Amino acid sequence: MNAIQTNQLSRSFGNLKAVDRLTLEVQRGTVFGFLGPNGSGKTTTIRLLLGLLDADDGQAQILGFDVREQADEVRARSGALLEHHGLYERLSAADNLDYYGRIWRMSKVERESRIRELLEPVGLYERRNEPIGRWSRGMKQKLAVARTLMHRPELVFLDEPTAGLDPVASAALREDLEMLASREGVTIFLTTHNLAEAEKLCNQVAVINHGQLLALGSPADLRSRTSAPRLYITGQGFSSQVIDGLRRNALVSNVQQRNGQVVTDLNDMARSHEIVAQLVGAGVQIDEVRKEKADLEDVFLRLVEEENRGEE
Amino acid sequence: MIADIFTVAWKELREMLMFGDSRGRNKLSLLVILAIFGVVIPLQNGRDWVTSPISAMVWAWMPYMWVYSVVADSFAGERERHTLEALLATRLSDRAILFGKLLAALAYGFTLTWAILLVSLVTINVAVRGEGLLLFSPLMTVGALVFSILVSGLAASIGVLVSLRASSVRQAQQWMSFGMLVLFLPFMFIQFIPEAWLESFGSALVNADPLQIAIWAAVVLLVIQSALLAVAMRLFQRSKLILD
């Protein structure tokens, strides 16, 4: 059984289609990345999946429960860190976690040990009795993640979980999330703008724009399906004639100049030596040639650009 | 559900009382209220504070002021501080959240009113020492008990309803102030009522059974409160709150 299964899920606000016939499957125990630019429908999707908003059309089954009919069951088994951390700034860190522990009917002993278990690794346990109003954004974010995991949910929704965290804390959180998914079988549905993070962490990713699903698959799949092989060439003598010559080559699908490099998308990586030969023949002094597939960020940008062009 | 209601009320009261803000301003304002209503005003009124039915009317409306000062924050404050959505994403039912917030406001109004009454009783007894122990009559005690609950409940229901619809705490407080003004507006028009009418109304009041008046007032308050609660329950829908 999938943790999340949606079928043609749709929601509009007036004329704006925030989520447009979204069909998704998220397997249990995986980390699922939901990528999209601002306003693409990511947050609305999470709200629909948690039953915080009613769908206009379509169905969603979460952990085997129908969101329309059994939203309480869904929420009882999920944890959510949404757009805002949602912490009570007048309360202490311990009180914030204690409150959510009480909500999930954890015993006092259980709450206390869980608070220690969650706050110690992120270095907040000693400060648990401080009101959090004056804490830094990163500290609050760590606490908010801890609150989301307080009751050991089966499914966790995380909206930009590493926003505001320093690189060390981000890496630690990524490790924790990976461990949660692999060892405890928790399903993690996360939205992020950090595509490198999605690439490292997610088993599956979906790209959404204007409420529509643009692509779905593993990061490697998406790269190979969506992007061309790429040559990064560093050197001297990239005149406009040389660049035009590259553009006319049938092997080349796209040429860009970035930070003193020429980035060439190829139709056939096996024939990359022909490009190097063409450049040498044109008098370019080549310092370095690097072959790579486009990263997830390129895939993402390309998908969104293509979709935006289609819209126009 | 009862446990969930208490959980929500626990958090609300903790926010109201334990910390307030980091400089403890809430605690200070509570002490000021206790000093004014528990010491200064009873001293000005003397024995009448304990014996006069007019004082009883003042106590009866006291909880409205206390509840009004905190209840505006219940939903509007959570929305303003972006904590509402996280709360709505939990397993708590709509009713547990709604009644938890109501209970907290009611408990705050009731407790503060009784704390003031007890402090005022001590104040009066110290002020008139030597005249024997002064206590509220049993009828006034029961009346204060019943009305402090009912008026706290009424204020909490109005406040939650207002707070549900208001976009900010400030707006909720403005609407609550306006409501208070409406409640006291009739008293401003007393001077325009012919004296003969006032006299006959006064003598009717004097001759009427105070217990009966109290019971009728309690029934009216209960009916209004039930109607307000019904509206609040209807308005409290997760999907609506998220979009507001």
pLDDT tens digits, B151-203? 888 888 888 888 888 888 888 888 888 877 777 777 777 777 788 887 887 78
Cβ-Cβ contacts under 8 Å for B133 (sequence gap 6 or more): B125
Q: Examine residue A32 and state whether it is found in any structural domain, yes or no.
A: yes
Tokens of A101: 């522990």
Tokens of A79: 């944890």
The verdict on A71 and A208 lying in the same domain is yes
At residue B136, does pLDDT exceed 90? no
Give residue A9's region: left, alpha or beta (phi > 0; psi -120 to 50). beta
Report the percent of chain B where pLDDT is more than 70: 94
The verdict on A174 and A71 lying in the same domain is yes
pLDDT of residue A294: 64
Taking the C-alpha atoms of residue B164 and residue B173, their distance in angstroms, rounded to an integer, is: 12
The verdict on A121 and A251 lying in the same domain is no
The confidence band for B242, taking pLDDT boundaries of 50, 70 and 90, is low
Q: Examine residue A305 and state whether it is found in any structural domain, yes or no.
A: no
Tokens of A45: 């999707």
A92 to B19: CB separation less than 8 angstroms, yes or no: yes
A88 to B239: CB separation less than 8 angstroms, yes or no: no
Higher pLDDT, A308 or B88: B88
pLDDT of residue B22: 47
The verdict on A249 and A174 lying in the same domain is no
pLDDT of residue B201: 78
The verdict on A200 and A267 lying in the same domain is no
Kindly list the residues from chain B whose CB atom is less than 8 angstroms away from the CB atom of residue A78.
Answer: 89
pLDDT of residue A45: 93
Q: Which helix (H) or strand (E) holds A165?
A: none
- Which whole number is the average pLDDT over B209-230? 85
Q: Examine residue A304 and state whether it is found in any structural domain, yes or no.
A: no
* Side-chain half-sphere exposure of A309, counting CA atoms within 13 A: 6
The verdict on A71 and A109 lying in the same domain is yes
Tokens of B108: 């705050």
pLDDT of residue A311: 61
Taking the C-alpha atoms of residue A269 and residue A293, their distance in angstroms, rounded to an integer, is: 9
Q: Examine residue A298 and state whether it is found in any structural domain, yes or no.
A: no
The confidence band for B73, taking pLDDT boundaries of 50, 70 and 90, is confident
Structure ipTM: 0.80
Query: Which of A181, A206, A221 corresponds to the end of one domain?
Result: A221
The confidence band for A37, taking pLDDT boundaries of 50, 70 and 90, is confident
Give the count of domains, chain B: 1
Q: Where are the alpha helices (DSSP H) in A185-268?
A: 195-201, 219-226, 240-248
B89 to A133: CB separation less than 8 angstroms, yes or no: no
At residue A26, does pLDDT exceed 90? yes
At residue A296, does pLDDT exceed 80? no
User: Mind telling me how many Å the CA of A28 is from chain B's nearest CA?
Assistant: 20
pLDDT of residue A107: 94
Report the percent of chain A where pLDDT is more than 70: 94
Expressed as residue numbers, the domain containing B109 is: 2-243
The verdict on A191 and A79 lying in the same domain is yes
The verdict on A71 and A29 lying in the same domain is yes
pLDDT digits (tens, 9 = 90+) for A69-94: 999 999 999 999 988 889 998 899 99
SS3 A305: helix
- Which whole number is the average pLDDT over B26-32? 79
B15 to A78: CB separation less than 8 angstroms, yes or no: no
The verdict on A175 and A240 lying in the same domain is no
**Taking CA B9 as the corner, what is the angle to CA B223 and CA A80, rounded to the nearest 5 degrees?**
120
The verdict on A17 and A88 lying in the same domain is yes
Indicate the average pLDDT of chain A.
86
Tokens of A170: 């981000």
The alpha carbon torsion through A131, A132, A135, A136 (nearest 10 deg) reads 180
Q: Examine residue A303 and state whether it is found in any structural domain, yes or no.
A: no
User: Domain with A145 in it: what CATH number?
Assistant: 3.40.50.300
Kindly list the residues from chain A whose CB atom is less than 8 angstroms away from the CB atom of residue B84.
Answer: 86
Burial class from Cβ neighbours inside 10 Å (0-12, 13-18, 19+) for residue A17 reads middle
At residue B244, does pLDDT exceed 60? no
Phi, psi of A68 (to 5 degrees): -65, -45
Is there a contact between B16 and B109 (Cβ–Cβ < 8 Å)? no
How far apart are the two ends of chain B, measured CA to CA in Å?
26
pLDDT digits (tens, 9 = 90+) for B148-162: 888 888 888 888 888
The alpha carbon torsion through A163, A164, A167, A168 (nearest 10 deg) reads -110
B87 to A86: CB separation less than 8 angstroms, yes or no: yes
Q: Which DSSP letter does residue A134 get? A: G
User: Domain with A243 in it: what CATH number?
Assistant: 3.30.70.100
B91 touches A at CB < 8 Å: yes
User: How does DSSP assign chain B, residue by residue?
Assistant: -HHHHHHHHHHHHIIIIIISSTT-HHHHHHHHHHHIIIIIHHHHHTTHHHH-HHHHHHHHHHHHHHHHHHHTHHHHHHHHTT-HHHHHTSS--HHHHHHHHHHHHHHHHHHHHHHHHHHHHHHHHHHTTTS------HHHHHHHHHHHHHHHHHHHHHHHHHHHH-SSHHHHHHHHHHHHHHHHHHHHTGGGS-HHHHHHHHHHHHHS-HHHHHHHHHHHHHHHHHHHHHHHHHH--HHHHHH-
B80 touches A at CB < 8 Å: no
The verdict on A97 and A205 lying in the same domain is yes
User: Mind telling me how many Å the CA of A81 is from chain B's nearest CA?
Assistant: 7
At residue A33, does pLDDT exceed 80? yes
Best of B88, B169, B244 to disrupt the A interface (most A CBs within 10 Å) is B88
The verdict on A139 and A214 lying in the same domain is yes
Taking the C-alpha atoms of residue A192 and residue A36, their distance in angstroms, rounded to an integer, is: 8
A166 touches B at CB < 8 Å: no
Give the count of domains, chain A: 2
Whole-number Cα distances in Å, B98 to A242, B122, B157: 70, 37, 10
A102 touches B at CB < 8 Å: yes
pLDDT digits (tens, 9 = 90+) for A199-250: 888 889 998 888 888 888 888 777 776 656 778 899 888 888 888 988 888 8
Expressed as residue numbers, the domain containing A172 is: 2-221
At residue A116, does pLDDT exceed 60? yes
Q: To 10 degrees, what angle do helices B138-165 and B210-235 make?
A: 20
